[in-house]
Amino acid sequence: MVEQLFFKKLNSLCTSKEIFDFLRSLEVMSDTMASGALQRISEVEVDDNGLKNPEGVLENEVFRALCFQFEFGSSKLSNTGLLTALQALVKLRIDPQSTLMASLLSEGEERLGKGQLTVKNLCTLGDILLELEGPSCAMLQQIVNELQEKDIEKWSPRELVMVYKMLQVTVREGKHYQGLLNRMNSVTLTIVSQLSPKFTSIILNSLVVLHQTQAVPLVIALCKHSVKHVPYFTDDELVNVLEAFLCFGHREQIFTEALETRVPQSIFTMQPQTVSKVMQYCCQRMILSKPIFDAVAEGFISDPDRFTTDQIAECIIPFGTLNYLPSSASSLFMKLETVLHIHFSQFQPHTLLNLLHSCVLIQRYPVNFLPKIFSPYFLQRLQAQPPGLDRIVTSKLTQLFLTVTLECPFYEGPKLLPKYQVKAFLMPHSSLDVHLLKRVKAGLLHLLKKRIYFASEVSTPYFYTVDIEIKLDEEGFVLPAAQCEEVHRRIALSVDGQNRFCVNSHNLLGEEAIKQRHLQLLGYEVVQIPFFEIESLQNCRKMAEYLHKKIFPHTYRLSC
């Protein structure tokens, strides 16, 4: 009861002077009370810049008396008193080489060797050693070894979290302690429903850092559990959760729905890092969430200066990747252009290329900046930084060049030199669905009777590959695919599998949308064959009927 009253009074005090006056009024203090007093002093007197009033604290007679008590009575302290005092002294920046610190650390090491410390004590001692000596401290390994001997099933959620955090810093990949991690992962799986937002975030972050890719059941359970915490996560906690979703390739529709509620409500107060991480999650998981994208656009328009150049790119690129123009598109891209004019030189070259390339996917043309992009100086900078001028980078450069050639005939600036151009675009998100292509080809064969009347995966002189090409003469007769003379019309069938669309959507991805747009500008008649129109067709005859209506909506004849 005395200690409860003591701590209630202590925690109401806000300056070291008030604390010292209060301590002078006491006749006796337990070691727990004394260490708690040190802890409270460190809380009120230490800020981000260190100790506010070094002389007023360190030279105070009450403070010196407390330190004397701990230095010469360390063997009589309880584990809690010893470790709480050490934590407070570390925070107060007391010299680690002082006799006071040496005495307390030596006592802690002795109790560690005798196996006298609880799980909570071990984690607290680990935090102290990390602060003093860093991850290379030899005693940390001894602590981890001691933890392996403990009965994990008896640990509280808080103790599990403390151990995860310590392993995250000391072990990193966890290879030498995978047995301990496996046991912890199994126990944690049984208590997921009890975890608070903070604990959920910390454990997911630890699983990412420790590369626990084999802990799939735990990851899935934590991701599902995180849904109900979305409104309550701090921004930093939400970033950790999103990192886990990205790292482990997980996606939850109800998690996205929870984000769709939180992001629009808090977009103007949400940290830029959190906003960019939400967009990165949507982009990598191919989730087109109009409420989130619209809110992020409004947030960027409102105050773009709070975002770093990398965060700007992470927020804007998904609009192009997922082929979406928000309702505020005009204001958004005007604001982006202003930012680019002011901060152009601050963007890393690859970040800048990715950003401008994403704009052309949705017909926003950065013509004012292309002379700099196509300049030898900028191309040298691209080449000098990883990944250099690899095929993905040169594909984006070539597509930028093709875009201004086809869609911006008024552009008269520098061109992209042929040595930087690719022969065929690399389109990582729009690979051909081979199974779907096979079904369409079977339907075409049923329709056109002979295989010679269409060609598949046709390379063009314009960097794109056409899924299926059909040639017609001037009178509308179908020509053999190999024939080059008397070709009046070229029909490009775009066989669009699910991977060419945003998740759970009929919205084409940006790289596929620009391909179909460019093929039309190059003279092709593009006929889209989306998966959702043909997945229910049961046989070749029905597929042929469908293709007839799509390709030849009025009539057709076969050439002899």
pLDDT band at 47 (very low <50, low <70, confident <90, very high): confident
Beta strands (DSSP E) in 433-496 are 455-459, 465-472, 477-479, 489-496
Please give the structure tokens belonging to residue 225: 């559990």
Mean pLDDT of all residues in 49-53: 84
Cα–Cα distance measured from residue 534 to residue 537, given in angstroms and rounded to the nearest whole number: 5
Average pLDDT of 39-53?
Answer: 88
Q: What is the mean pLDDT of residues 63-71?
A: 91
Query: What are the two backbone dihedrals, phi and then psi, of residue 348, each rounded to the nearest 5 degrees?
Result: -65, 145
434-551: CATH topology is Endonuclease; Chain A (3.40.960)
Least trusted range by pLDDT, from 151-160, 167-176, 177-186: 167-176
pLDDT value at residue 54 = 85
Residue 556 scores a pLDDT above 80: no
Respond yes or no on whether the N-terminal peptide bond of residue 304 is cis (omega within 30° of 0).
Answer: no
* Arithmetic mean of pLDDT, 530-559: 85
pLDDT in tens, 70-101: 999 889 999 999 999 999 999 999 998 999 99
Cβ atoms within 10 Å of 461's Cβ, excluding its own:
7
Report whether 19 contacts 40 (CB < 8 A).
Answer: yes
Query: Is the pLDDT reported for residue 558 higher than 70?
Result: no
First to last CA, the chain: 103
Q: Using one digit for the tens of pLDDT, what is the confidence trace for 485-518?
A: 999 999 999 999 999 999 999 999 999 999 999 9
CA dist., res. 368 & res. 341, Å (int): 9
CA gap 462, 425 in Å, rounded: 9
Identify whether the C-beta of residue 258 lies closer than 8 Å to the C-beta of residue 293: no
| Cα–Cα distance, 101 to 89 (Å, whole number) | 8
Residue at token pair 């360190």: 58
Return the minimum-mean-pLDDT range out of 264-273, 347-356, 536-545.
Answer: 536-545
Residue 8 above 80 pLDDT? Answer: yes
pLDDT of residue 548: 94
Q: State the pLDDT confidence band at 560, using cuts at 50, 70 and 90.
A: very low
Q: Residue 141: pLDDT band by 50, 70, 90 thresholds?
A: confident
- Decide if pLDDT at 409 tops 70: yes
Is residue 557 very low, low, confident or very high in pLDDT (cuts 50, 70, 90)?
very low
- What pLDDT does residue 22 have? 93
pLDDT tens column, 448-474 = 999 999 999 999 988 999 999 999 999
d(CA 164, CA 188): 11
Q: At what angle do helices 2-10 and 16-24 cross, to 10 degrees?
A: 150
DSSP letter at 539? Answer: S
- For the chain, the farthest-separated pair of C-alpha atoms sits apart, in whole angstroms, at 112
Per-residue pLDDT at 528 exceeds 60: yes
pLDDT at 38 exceeding the cut of 50: yes
Per-residue model confidence (pLDDT) at position 136: 81
Phi first, then psi: what are they for 477, rounded to 5°? -75, 140
Q: List pLDDT tens digits, range 272-330.
A: 999 999 999 999 999 999 999 999 999 999 999 999 999 999 999 999 999 999 999 99
Classified as helix, coil or strand, 497 is: coil
Q: What percent of the chain has pLDDT over 90?
A: 80
**pLDDT at position 555 over 70:** no
pLDDT at residue 172, as a whole number: 60
pLDDT over 60 at 173, yes or no: no
Alpha-helix residue ranges (DSSP H) falling in 114-252: 119-133, 138-148, 157-170, 178-190, 197-209, 216-226, 235-247
pLDDT of 384 > 60? The answer is yes
**Average pLDDT, whole number, for the chain?**
93
Mean pLDDT for 212-229 is: 95
Q: What percentage of the chain reaches a pLDDT higher than 70?
A: 98
Q: How many helices (H) and strands (E) does the chain have?
A: 27, 8
- The answer to whether 467 and 494 are in contact (CB under 8 A) is yes
| Of residues 232 and 133, more confidently modeled | 232
CA distance 293 to 272: 14
User: What is the model's pLDDT at position 175?
Assistant: 60
pLDDT of 178 higher than 50: yes
